[in-house]
């Protein structure tokens, strides 16, 4: 069985090393049996693929240890361990550097251990998170808003015995469907794309109500297999907007080929 490298990388980052369950393990790694036991909504790949992913992960771990290398999850875990050490060894100093409030946008692009770091930097009740699961563009992150609350449960369970301080557990996320940044022309096209996505992949992201804009605007064109020469002529004569491509790696090529500066990959275009 062949598995896509990105699928394996996402499982390693989001579950095996970057999850709150991994933080709670003495080895800081999610064991094979617990990875296999994750629910289908949490980890969408089959049991057979999970076995392959874990085999790949163990090989990666051996290579990195032999070469004395580390990855982003190792860095985050070290930061968390040093922060815990600072909290216990010099609580007054830690209190001085602690933040009163932290606001995080695009939270769907962060791992659970990164969100845990935010919690520790400001404390429960002082962290404000915003994001849209359908707009995730960072490779290697499997995000659900429900998983943020599990981080909060970990923070609230200070005695480690399951006696949670309920006021420290994050509230359920509030949904905002009024979009103040994009006009209705763009939002309607985006909604139609998401409808197609959810029809084929119903569990690919949390399905929310469609966004609505506060003002109208022209609809963007969705072009498929368009003749580059025709597109170049349209850009030079009739169109003066941006061209957004599905794949980031080809943006520079098409910018040069079309002779048009406003050509972007999907990640670069995010937020326009």
Tokens coding 65: 């240890």
Band the pLDDT of 169: cuts 50, 70, 90. low
Least confident of 49-58, 83-92, 132-141, 248-257: 132-141
Model confidence over 33-85: pLDDT tens digits?
999 999 988 898 999 999 999 999 999 999 999 999 999 999 999 999 998 89
Q: Which residue has the tokens 């659900």?
A: 144
Average pLDDT, whole number, for the chain? 86
Out of 116-120, 165-169, 223-227, give the one with best mean pLDDT.
116-120
- For residue range 175-209, list pLDDT tens digits in order: 888 888 888 988 898 889 889 988 888 877 777 78
**Among candidates 108, 116, 139, 115, which has minimal Cα distance to 8?**
139
Flag whether pLDDT at 133 surpasses 70.
yes
Give me the pLDDT at residue 159, please.
Answer: 45
164 Ramachandran zone, left/alpha/beta (phi>0; psi -120 to 50): beta
Q: Which of 147, 116, 124 is nearest to 39 (CA)?
A: 147
Tokens representing residue 205 in the block: 């992201």
User: Would you place residue 103 in the very low, low, confident or very high pLDDT band (cuts 50, 70, 90)?
Assistant: very high
Q: Is the entire prediction scored with pTM above 0.85?
A: no
What is the average per-residue pLDDT within 146-169?
A: 65
Q: What is the pLDDT of residue 163?
A: 53
Of 141, 32, 20, 164, the C-alpha closest to 80 is 20
pLDDT at 271: 64
3-class state of residue 179 by DSSP: strand
Q: How far apart are CA 221 and CA 241, in angstroms?
A: 10
């Amino acid at each position: 069985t062949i598995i896509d490298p990105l699928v394996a990388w996402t499982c390693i980052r989001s579950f095996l090393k970057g999850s709150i369950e991994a933080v709670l393990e003495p080895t800081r790694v999610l064991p094979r049996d617990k990875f296999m036991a994750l629910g289908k909504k949490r980890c969408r790949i089959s049991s057979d693929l999970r076995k392959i992913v874990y085999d790949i992960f163990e090989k990666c771990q051996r290579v990195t240890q032999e070469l004395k290398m580390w990855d982003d999850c190792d860095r985050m875990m070290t930061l968390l361990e040093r922060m815990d050490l600072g909290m216990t060894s010099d609580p007054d100093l830690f209190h001085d550097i602690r933040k009163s409030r932290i606001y995080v946008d695009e939270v769907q692009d962060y791992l659970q251990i990164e969100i845990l770091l935010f919690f520790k930097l400001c404390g429960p009740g002082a962290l404000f998170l915003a994001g849209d699961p359908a707009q995730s563009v960072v490779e290697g992150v499997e995000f659900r808003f429900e998983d943020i609350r599990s981080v909060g449960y970990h923070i609230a369970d200070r005695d480690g015995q399951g006696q949670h301080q309920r006021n420290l557990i994050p509230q359920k996320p509030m949904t905002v469907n009024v979009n103040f940044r994009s006009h209705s022309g763009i939002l309607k096209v985006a909604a139609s794309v998401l409808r197609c996505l959810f029809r084929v992949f119903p569990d690919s992201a949390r399905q929310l109500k469609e966004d609505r804009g506060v003002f109208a605007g022209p609809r963007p064109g969705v072009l498929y297999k368009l003749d580059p020469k025709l597109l170049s002529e349209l850009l030079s004569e009739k169109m003066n907007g941006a061209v957004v491509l599905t794949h980031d790696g080809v943006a520079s090529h098409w910018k040069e080929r079309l002779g048009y500066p406003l050509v972007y990959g999907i990640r670069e275009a995010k937020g326009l």
